[in-house]
A = this chain, B = another copy of it.
Amino acid sequence: MKITRSNSQPFRKGPAEYFTGAVRVEQPFAGSAPARISGAFVTFEPGARTNWHTHPLGQTLIVTHGCGWVQAEGGLREEILAGDIVWFPPGVKHWHGATATQGLTHIAIAEALNGKSVDWLEKVTDAQYQPA
C-alpha cells in the first residue's frame, strides 16, 4: 500500500511544447504493473488548454473545480463543470482546457500501452479555442 500525501510533491508546469497558457500539474500518481493506470491533477488558468492529442487506451477527466471546454475532432466544443466526468475513447483526437474567463482543475487518468499513455499533436489555435 502506498499513500502519496497531498503536501508531498511540488507542482510541475505543463510544458509549452504540449500546452498553451499557464498549466499546473500536481499529485501525479501511477499504479504498479500489471496495472496500466496513471494520472494527475491538472489546473488550467483561464485561456489555457492542451494541444490536440490522443491516448492509445483513452482518457478519463474528472472535473474537481471551475469550468472548462473540451472538444473531440469533428465535434462541437462543449462546456464542463465541477463534478462532470469525460471519457475520450482510445485514439480519439481531442483537447481540453479552461474557458476564456474561468479556471479549470481536473483529474486526468489514462492507461499506458507499451509504456505510453498519450500522443501529442499540434496546438489548438485561438480560432479553434474560441470560434468567432
Contacts and interface: CB of A to CB of B under 8 A. Distances in A.
Given A35-B58, A60-B31, A111-B36, A1 B87 contact: yes
Contacts of A121: none
Copies in the complex: 2
Interface stretch (A17-25, A74-82, A124-132): A74-82
A132 B64 CA distance: 37
Interface in A19-50: 27, 29-32, 34-37, 39
B58 A6 contact: no
B37 A109 contact: yes
For the side of the interface on A, what is the size category? Answer: 35 or more
B109 A109 contact: yes
Greatest chain B CB density within 10 A among A1, A27, A81 is at: A1
Contacts of A3: 70, 78, 80, 84-86
Contacts of A5: 81, 83-84
